Amino acid sequence: MRFTKMHGIGNDYVYVNCFAEKMPADPAALSIKVADRHFGIGGDGLILICPSEKADARMRMFNADGSESEMCGNGLRCVAKYVYDHGIARKPRLQLETGRGVLTVDLEVKNDKVARVRVNMGEPILEPARIPTTFGGTQVVDAPLTVGGQTYAVTCVSMGNPHAVIYIPDAAAVPLEAVGPGLETAPVFPRRANIHFVQVHSPNEVTMRTWERGSGITLACGTGACGVCVAGVLTGRTGRKLLAHLPGGDLELEWSAADNNVYMTGPATEVFSGDWAD
């Protein structure tokens, strides 16, 4: 099976072009295998680029533990780049089907290849039960959550997938390996959650680190950065336009007051292709 390795600011996945390759019979099991950085190809998971009846292509995304997610922001920028660069659809504006519906993607092309991508990630979902969380009320904003004897103030947002945002003075000081798993699987998150620790530098600039649902520590999380932008507005810590510094690079976010959509802009990189022998 031919695959292509791509990353969005270091959030790397194994991509399979299912316009050309057969759909894997068990993508969850395949994701676990190919994601392994010693016995497989290495990556944060598997992303299938599939034909779609209602869009230029459809993205199906699987974490390193085989769980499927509704959405992946860094992955969608890479899918857009692959679809354009490899001639599946040579248009500067693409429609891409995801687990949260069809999203519109604008491409910045340089020397005939996509360099940067701007994604309309859709509207944030804030109702607790739709994130989903078991918190009551109409929104989850700086709500106390105690895990492992430590109480955190969490702000929860869904971008099609669940996120918990925690503000701290120093993002570098968080022992992610130690606290991530307990927060990801806290009972208050019936479908687990992606966990983000955020340090605010100014009303328009943050540094964030992530423990992802199903993949653990990643160098970047696109939907998470969108959630952080929304959480910043809800908590009054940052503005509707945000520059987020992630370990793997930067993303530009905007939660538009005009249309309530969240926009994410960043790079997408193709590294190499190969044949998966298994």
Ligand X SMILES: N[C@H](CCC[C@H](N)C(=O)O)C(=O)O
Interface ranges with ligand X (CB under 6 A): 11, 63, 69, 72-75, 161, 194, 212-215, 218, 221-224
Q: What is the dihedral of CA 162, 167, 168, 174, to 10 degrees?
A: 10
**In the complex, what is the shortest distance from the CB of residue 26 to ligand X, in angstroms, rounded to a whole number?**
18
Establish whether 74 is an annotated binding residue.
yes
Taking the C-alpha atoms of residue 21 and residue 50, their distance in angstroms, rounded to an integer, is 9
Q: Indicate the residue among 206 and 221 with the shorter CB distance to ligand X.
A: 221
Establish whether 161 is an annotated binding residue.
yes
**In the complex, what is the shortest distance from the CB of residue 63 to ligand X, in angstroms, rounded to a whole number?**
5
Establish whether 205 is an annotated binding residue.
no
Taking the C-alpha atoms of residue 154 and residue 21, their distance in angstroms, rounded to an integer, is 42
For residue 221, indicate whether it is catalytic.
Answer: yes
Establish whether 63 is an annotated binding residue.
yes
**In the complex, what is the shortest distance from the CB of residue 262 to ligand X, in angstroms, rounded to a whole number?**
12
Q: Indicate the residue among 45 and 258 with the shorter CB distance to ligand X.
A: 45
Q: Indicate the residue among 174 and 226 with the shorter CB distance to ligand X.
A: 226
The residue whose two tokens read 């479908």 is: 191
**In the complex, what is the shortest distance from the CB of residue 161 to ligand X, in angstroms, rounded to a whole number?**
3
Omega cis (within 30) before 267: no
- For residue 160 the two structure tokens come to 């099609």
Establish whether 212 is an annotated binding residue.
yes
**In the complex, what is the shortest distance from the CB of residue 210 to ligand X, in angstroms, rounded to a whole number?**
8
For residue 226, indicate whether it is catalytic.
Answer: no
Count of beta carbons in the 10 Å neighbourhood of residue 175: 7
**In the complex, what is the shortest distance from the CB of residue 122 to ligand X, in angstroms, rounded to a whole number?**
13
Taking the C-alpha atoms of residue 138 and residue 259, their distance in angstroms, rounded to an integer, is 21
Tell me the three state secondary structure of residue 77: helix
Establish whether 213 is an annotated binding residue.
yes
Establish whether 194 is an annotated binding residue.
yes
- For residue 278 the two structure tokens come to 């298994």
Residue of 18, 78, 156, 221 with catalytic role: 221
Taking the C-alpha atoms of residue 85 and residue 111, their distance in angstroms, rounded to an integer, is 11
Handedness of CA 263, 219, 208, 190 (dihedral sign): positive
Residue of 72, 78, 156, 226 with catalytic role: 72
DSSP assignment of 188-246: T-TT--EEEEEEEEETTEEEEEEEETTTEEES--HHHHHHHHHHHHHHTSS-SEEEEEE
Q: Indicate the residue among 27 and 222 with the shorter CB distance to ligand X.
A: 222
Q: Indicate the residue among 56 and 212 with the shorter CB distance to ligand X.
A: 212
Q: Indicate the residue among 72 and 141 with the shorter CB distance to ligand X.
A: 72
User: Looking only at Cα atoms, what is the longest distance across the chain?
Assistant: 54
- For residue 19 the two structure tokens come to 């316009």
Taking the C-alpha atoms of residue 58 and residue 130, their distance in angstroms, rounded to an integer, is 23
Residue 73, judged by CB atoms within 10 A of its CB (0-12, 13-18, 19+), counts as buried
Binding site as annotated, residues for substrate: 11, 63, 73-74, 161, 194, 212-213, 222-223
Binding-site residue numbers are 11, 63, 73-74, 161, 194, 212-213, 222-223
Which of the residues are catalytic? 72, 221
